[in-house]
Amino acid sequence: MTLNWATEVTLMSRKADSAQRTRQVIGHGPRLRGNIEKAKDARGALRRLLAYLKPYRLSLLAVVVLTIVSTLLSLAGPYLLGLAIDEIFVASDLGLLRVSLMMLGAYVAGTVVSIGGGWIMAAVSQKALRSLRRDLFEHLQTLSLSFFDRTPTGDLMSRLTNDVDTINQVLRENVTRLITSILMLVGIIVMMFRLNLWLALGSLVVFPIMIMMTAIVGRRTRSSFRGLQRQRGRLNGLMEETISGQRVVIAFGQRKSTVKSFNKVNEAVRVAGIKAMTNAMLIPPLMGILSNANIAIVAGLGGWFVLNGLTSVGIIATFITYSRQFAQPLRQMANLYNSIQSALAGSERIFEIIDKKPELLDAPDALHVEDIEGEVEFRHVDFEYVPNVPVLKDVSFKADPGQTIALVGPTGAGKTTIINVLTRFYDINGGSITIDGHDINKIKKDDLRRQLGIVLQDVYLFSGTVMENIRYGRLDATDQECIEAAKLANADGFIRRLPQGYNTQLSERGSNLSQGQRQLLSIARAIIADPDILILDEATSSVDTRTEIRIQEALLRLLEGRTSLVIAHRLSTIRKADQLLVINEGRIIERGSHEELLEKQGFYYNLYMSQFKRNNSEAK
């Protein structure tokens, strides 16, 4: 059964030869972080975003209709207010009551209709965003390990959360606000011209100034908010990285320096935030001044008209109300423009990931493999993580079904890289790798990895129960099968001593268990998966001798009848391997059994004797 490779193999990059690779490619890591603050192709991003709303066309039509009704009812309020004032002057109590009730009904109905439209739009936006998040997350599962090597985790999390949330705000609230603002602006102009031509023209004197000021301030606000978004991205990345590596921070006593780095970026966010908020707050007072100037014009001109009998006091009151409302749509559209730009930039960042093509694809004629014998052969394999920096050089060896092959060598020699290319996390640059005579490039990736099982030194456990973590190796396994696997892994004893036994809830990465207990659970998980080829990556190097004996007993049961590749830090643990491959600087420099290599008194002999002497001195 397939293990969670996207999670488990990330841990492999911490191994010896991957450290060398990290140093080689680290310069390429942050290139995706915060580089896209404004959509380069706004139309393309908008078109693709609207495609997620297409299935809900009828609901969106209902939102538009309800928004139109709500806007018309809002426009009717000031008009009815003018009629009410005129009824006062004609001393008609019945007419005044009727108009007042109509005005009250218009406002109440407008509010109800607006709430209904907002509720429908919220439902539509959540459904569309659910599909967008699903497409993004599912596509991430198809991408190659090299993509995750060069893409910061904080950047990916930002796209999955912050960018999606930005789009959510625009779809949930700002779409209806945009429609309302446009309709309100057009409706106010139409109503004013319908009531009095000269007063309408007088009211529009400040209109060009409002538009110009909105455009100028809007550009400054948009630029400053892009800067704020970029600084927030840096801060999020720093926090994610620091929290994930908190053990290292504490272990090396770097809390003060970490806080200093955080304060520096946090200060940059503060400065950017003040600049953005200051620019954003310019619009309301400017619109207020212009709106008051507009009211003064309407009041002065309207008063002259009333004195000369050219209009009524009610009409003037209606115009003043419309004039107060006139700046609001412009102000909202200016703010919406910034929000929409930010949402389009966010959607483009999301689509940038969705458009990434997996580097490792199944061949058109890829074979479907169900059962294998377990013969593994490397033929003159060359590999490099970055161009012109070879990591594996002409590596050739063969493991017959059921054999155990041990990979030994110094840190950075290329041991874990052999595992990476066997599991096809990366494609090799030269030579071939075959399983049962089939080139692994011609086997479906899922079928290949279903036959492989890995037990790592740094075990990854999920926040769930012990039973769920064991069952992760094969999701259709029964409770009894999981318990039997735990017994074979020597894990049943300590599990039953836990507070809730197999139902004990584990914290993140199983931090409430010891290293040895986590290792035994990972072995139980591998047993339940029942792989045909097993890979042990220094599975006992981080535990004490007593725990190592228990783990070794469990591993012997797991290795039985399976082809195995074992990376060992403690050379004493692989003396019974059928073949030892000594790797140095990407090449196999010695091969043979433990006894044969000792007789040669070469590289392995020196490696073994230095470890043997060190162990003896530690024992003393």
Instruction: Give pLDDT, residue 582.
Output: 92
Q: In what order do the strands lie in the sheet with 533-537?
A: 452-456, 533-537, 563-567, 404-408, 579-584, 587-592
The answer on pLDDT for 110 being more than 90 is no
- Continuous segment of H or E residues that includes residue 69: helix 57-89
What is the DSSP pairing of strand 376-384 with strand 438-439?
A: unpaired
The predicted structure's pLDDT at residue 378: 94
Start-to-end C-alpha separation, the chain = 46
More confident residue, 416 or 294: 416
The residues near 409 (Cβ < 8 Å, ≥ 6 apart) are 415, 582, 583, 584, 607
Out of 11-15, 73-77, 421-425, 579-583, the most confident range is: 579-583
Q: How confident is the prediction for the chain on average, in pLDDT?
A: 78
Of the candidates 168, 152, 165, 340, the one whose C-alpha atom is nearest the C-alpha of residue 234 is 152
Tokens of 45: 């991003």
| Cβ-based neighbours of 386, under 8 Å, separated by 6 or more | 21, 24, 25
Q: Pick 60 or 515 by higher pLDDT.
A: 60
pLDDT at 514: 82
Instruction: From residue 267, give the alpha-carbon distance in Å to each of 202, 262, 270, 279.
Output: 48, 8, 5, 18
Across 586-600, b (16+ Cβ under 10 Å) vs e yields bebebbbebeebeee
What number is the average pLDDT over the span 264-292?
81
What percent of the chain has a predicted confidence (pLDDT) above 70? 83
469-491 average pLDDT score: 88
51-89 b/e with 16+ CB inside 10 Å = b? ebbeebeeebebbeebbbbbbebbbbbbbbbbbbbbbee
Picking from 599, 425, 447, 441, the residue whose alpha carbon sits closest to that of residue 533 is 447
* Nearest-angstrom CA–CA distance, 211 and 255: 51
CB neighbourhood size of 212 (10 A): 10
Most confidently modeled range among 327-336, 357-366, 377-386: 377-386
- Decide which of 291 and 490 is more confident: 490
Q: What is the 3-state secondary structure (H, E, C) of 447-502?
A: HHHHCEEEEECCCCCCCCEHHHHHHCCCCCCCHHHHHHHHHHCCCHHHHHCCCCHH
**Residue 93's pLDDT is what?**
55
pLDDT at 581: 92
* The pLDDT value given to residue 17: 37
Tokens 């407008």 belong to residue: 110
Give the pLDDT score at 31.
33
Give residue 8's pLDDT: 38
DSSP code of 508?
A: G
Does residue 206 contact residue 293 with C-beta atoms inside 8 Å? yes
Q: What is the pLDDT of residues 171-191, one digit of tens each?
A: 877 777 778 788 888 888 888
Residue 552: pLDDT over 80: no
Distance from C-alpha of 614 to C-alpha of 583, rounded to nearest angstrom:
21
C-alpha 98: how far from chain center: 57
| pLDDT reading at 394 higher than 50 | yes
Beta-carbon-side half-sphere exposure of residue 508 (alpha carbons within 13 Å): 2
pLDDT at res. 26: 28
127-131, 441-445, 554-558: lowest mean pLDDT where? 554-558
| The amino acid at 108 | V
Q: What is the pLDDT of residue 393?
A: 93
Q: Give residues with Cβ within 8 angstroms of 314, minimum separation 6.
A: 81, 82, 83, 84, 85, 86, 89
- Choice between 413 and 203, residue whose per-residue pLDDT is larger: 413
Which has more pLDDT, 383 or 300? Answer: 383
Give the C-alpha separation, 238 to 457, whole Å. Answer: 27
Tell the residue number behind the tokens 């507070």, with chain if given. Answer: 499
Tens of pLDDT, residue by residue over 122-151, are 888 889 888 998 888 888 888 877 788 777
Entry pTM? 0.65
54-96 pLDDT, tens digit per residue, is 898 898 899 888 888 888 887 777 777 777 666 665 555 556 6
Regarding predicted confidence, which is higher, 201 or 8?
A: 201
Domains (range + CATH), the chain: 39-228+273-354 (1.20.1560.10), 376-619 (3.40.50.300)
The pLDDT value given to residue 377 = 92
Question: How wide is the angle at C-alpha 175 spanned by C-alphas 170 and 176, nearest 5°?
Answer: 130
Sign of the alpha-carbon torsion through 57, 60, 65, 68:
negative
